[in-house]
């Protein structure tokens, strides 16, 4: 799905935002313990409406591994074939702490911008824009 805001296709912007946040979410999950790909999908997506698949997670895990932030190991499974488990490296733990703190600051800025009155804003409200959610049929 993608969004059209006042005639402007927001697909690229939402994709870039999503990639960065998913990277942080993966690091966050791994900061609490090891996971294999599908367990990351289930943990991150939870009960949300986000369309998240292993095909989205694995390229991010590969990039994080190349950067030395995660490592992987194959572990035999009693429920089928071996699974590739991912864990944070010490460098990954440090990166998660820094990125998590930065994300919290940015989220606070966004939250503040949604509630703060601007100059000349009498009622402190926000302007309403038209947003249309469309299904991507590609």
Q: Which domains does the chain have, with CATH numbers?
A: 2-114+128-134 (1.10.10.10)
**What pLDDT sits at residue 63?**
96
* pTM for the full predicted model: 0.76
Q: Is the pLDDT of residue 127 over 70?
A: no
pLDDT for position 72:
97
Statement: residue 137 has pLDDT above 60: no
* Cβ-proximal residues to 89 (8 Å cutoff; 6+ apart), any chain: 68, 69, 70, 71
Separation of alpha carbons 37 and 71, rounded Å: 13
């Amino acid at each position: 799905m993608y969004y059209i805001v006042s005639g402007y296709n927001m697909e690229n912007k939402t994709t870039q935002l999503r990639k960065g946040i998913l990277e942080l979410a993966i690091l966050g999950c791994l900061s609490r313990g090891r996971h294999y790909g599908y367990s990351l999908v289930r943990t991150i997506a939870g009960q949300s409406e986000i369309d998240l698949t292993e095909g989205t997670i694995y390229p991010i895990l590969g990039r994080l591994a190349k950067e030395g932030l995660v490592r992987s190991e194959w572990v035999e499974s009693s429920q089928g074939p071996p699974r590739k488990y991912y864990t944070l490296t010490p460098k990954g733990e440090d990166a998660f702490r820094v990125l998590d703190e930065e994300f919290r600051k940015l989220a606070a800025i966004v939250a503040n911008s949604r509630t703060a009155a601007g100059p000349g804003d009498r009622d402190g409200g926000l302007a309403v824009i038209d947003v249309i959610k469309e299904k991507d049929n590609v």
